[in-house]
Structure 1
Amino acid sequence: MKNTLSALLFLPFAAAPAFATNYYVAPGGSDNAAGTQAAPWASIARAQTRAQAGDTVYFRGGKYAYTAGVEACASRTAIVNAITLDKSGAAGQPIRYWAYPGETPVFDFSAMKDDCRVKGFNVTASWVHLKGLEVTGAPQQPGNRLNHESWGVWNSGSNNVFELLNLHHNMGPGLFIQNGGNNLVLNSDSHHNYDPYTSNGAGQSADGFGAHIKANQPGNVFRGCRAWMNTDDGFDLINAFSPVTIENSWAWQHGYLPGTTTPLAAGNGNGIKAGGYGGAYVANGVKHTVRFSVAFANKAAGFYANHHPLALDFFNNTAFGNGANYNMLGIAPDGSAVNFGNLRNNLAYKGTATSNTAGLDMPNNSWTLPVQISDGDFEDVSASGWDAPRQADGSLPPLRSYHLRSTSDLIGKGVNVGLPFNGSAPDLGAFEAAR
Structure 2
Amino acid sequence: MMILVGTSVTAHAADYYISPNGNDSNQGTTYGTPFKSITKAQEAASSGDTVYMLGGTYKDFTIASSDSNYNYVHDITKSGITYRAYSSKNPPIFDFSNITTSKRVAAFRIAKNVTNVTFLCMNVTKVPVGSQKQSECFRIEGNATFNQVNCYANAANGFYFVNNGTGQCIKCDSYNNIGTTSTSLGNTDGFGAHGNGVVFKECRAWYNSDDGYDSITSKGANTFDTCWAYNMTAGGDSNGFKIGGYGTGTVPGTVPVHTVKYCLAANNNAHGFYANHQPGQAATWTNNTAYNNKHGNFNMLERVSRTDSTDISGTREVLHYNIALKGILIEYANLPQANVTNNSWTKSGVTVTNDDFQSLDASQMTWARGTNGTLPTITFMHLKSNSDLKGMGCFN
Identify whether the pair has TM-score above 0.5, normalized to the shorter chain. yes
Alpha carbons 1:281, 1:331 under 8 Å: kept: no
Give unmatched runs, 5+ long, in structure 1.
Answer: 1-17, 90-94, 258-263, 412-426
Aligned residue in 1 for 2:263: 293
Q: How does 1:96-107 map to 2 (within 5 A)?
A: 96-101=82-87, 102-107=89-94
Matched to 1:96, the amino acid is T
SS at match of 1:376: helix
Partners in 2 of 1:244 and 1:270 — Cα distance?
17
How far residue 180 of structure 1 moved from its aligned partner, in angstroms, is 4.1
1:373 aligns with 2:347: no
Partners in 2 of 1:378 and 1:24 — Cα distance?
48
1:127 aligns with 2:116: yes
Q: CA RMSD in A?
A: 1.9
1:338 aligns with 2:338: no
Aligned residue in 1 for 2:364: 385
Aligned residue in 1 for 2:288: 317
* Distance verdict in 2 for CA 1:270–1:19, change over 3 Å: farther
Aligned residue in 2 for 1:237: 215
How far residue 278 of structure 1 moved from its aligned partner, in angstroms, is 0.8
Matched to 1:402, the amino acid is M
SS at match of 1:23: strand
- Structure with the larger helix share: 2
TM score, norm. by length of structure 2? 0.89
Using the aligned pairs only, state the percent identity: 36
How far residue 298 of structure 1 moved from its aligned partner, in angstroms, is 0.3
TM score, norm. by length of structure 1? 0.82
How far residue 66 of structure 1 moved from its aligned partner, in angstroms, is 4.4
Partners in 2 of 1:19 and 1:268 — Cα distance?
49
How far residue 380 of structure 1 moved from its aligned partner, in angstroms, is 2.0
1:156 aligns with 2:141: yes
Partners in 2 of 1:38 and 1:313 — Cα distance?
51
Alpha carbons 2:52, 2:85 under 8 Å: kept: yes
Aligned residue in 1 for 2:167: 183
Matched to 2:304, the amino acid is A
Matched to 1:26, the amino acid is S
Partners in 1 of 2:228 and 2:219 — Cα distance?
23
Matched to 2:205, the amino acid is A
How far residue 170 of structure 1 moved from its aligned partner, in angstroms, is 2.0
- Structure with the larger strand share: 2
Aligned residue in 1 for 2:204: 226
Partners in 1 of 2:163 and 2:248 — Cα distance?
21
1:108 aligns with 2:95: yes
* Distance verdict in 2 for CA 1:103–1:180, change over 3 Å: farther
Partners in 1 of 2:285 and 2:381 — Cα distance?
18
Matched to 1:122, the amino acid is R
Partners in 2 of 1:71 and 1:181 — Cα distance?
19
SS at match of 2:41: helix
* Distance verdict in 2 for CA 1:71–1:241, change over 3 Å: closer
Query: Residue 126 of structure 2 is aligned with which of 122, 129, 137?
Result: 137
Residues 337-358 of structure 1: CA distance to partner in whole angstroms, max 9, x if unpaired? 2122111110001121111113
Partners in 1 of 2:374 and 2:244 — Cα distance?
26
Residues 305-339 of structure 1: CA distance to partner in whole angstroms, max 9, x if unpaired? 00001122111100001021000010113322212
Partners in 1 of 2:25 and 2:173 — Cα distance?
34
Alpha carbons 1:27, 1:64 under 8 Å: kept: yes
Residues 207-249 of structure 1: CA distance to partner in whole angstroms, max 9, x if unpaired? 0000111xxx44x201000000001000000000111101100
Aligned residue in 2 for 1:363: 341
Partners in 2 of 1:23 and 1:375 — Cα distance?
54
Partners in 1 of 2:202 and 2:385 — Cα distance?
25
Partners in 2 of 1:350 and 1:251 — Cα distance?
16
Aligned residue in 2 for 1:353: 329
Residues 135-167 of structure 1: CA distance to partner in whole angstroms, max 9, x if unpaired? 1122122xx3xx411101111112x21111110
1:402 aligns with 2:381: yes
How far residue 193 of structure 1 moved from its aligned partner, in angstroms, is 0.8
SS at match of 2:58: strand
Aligned residue in 2 for 1:327: 299
* Distance verdict in 2 for CA 1:327–1:279, change over 3 Å: farther
Partners in 1 of 2:23 and 2:169 — Cα distance?
31
Q: What count of residue pairs does the alignment treat as equivalent?
A: 372
Query: Residue 22 of structure 1 is aligned with which of 11, 15, 18?
Result: 15
Alpha carbons 2:99, 2:128 under 8 Å: kept: yes
